Amino acid sequence: MKRQNLAKDELIGLQVKIIECKDSDWIGKSGLIIDETKNTFLIKTKEKEKTIAKAIAKFEFEKNGEKIILDGSKIAYRPEDRIKKAR
């Protein structure tokens, strides 16, 4: 799966890992995306549910055994608008 295709696909339910972030506490954290808004992901980690801003991080998604990296600022749209606007 290509980056552009994933950016336009449903992200809720995917495993994600934060590989770069302006907040160093987030780097290396991973979990399951359980909700998404225009600017954030709600991620269920081993410890608890946490919200992270899309614009401050790069995410590594795992789908169908593939790992794809997306810059959060490129997918900072409402989920229903991301289909049309993601680059």
Whole-number pLDDT of residue 65: 87
3-state DSSP: the chain helix, strand, coil percent, rounded to 5?
Answer: 25, 45, 30
Whole-number pLDDT of residue 1: 58
* Yes or no: domain 3-85 corresponds to CATH 2.30.30.210: yes
37 against 1, higher pLDDT: 37
pLDDT tens column, 11-41:
999 999 999 999 999 999 999 999 999 999 9
pTM of the model: 0.88
Whether the per-residue pLDDT at 83 is higher than 80: the answer is no
Whether the per-residue pLDDT at 68 is higher than 90: the answer is yes
Domain edges within the chain: 3-85
Contacts of 61 (CB under 8 A, 6+ apart): 6, 11, 14, 15, 16, 67, 68, 69, 70
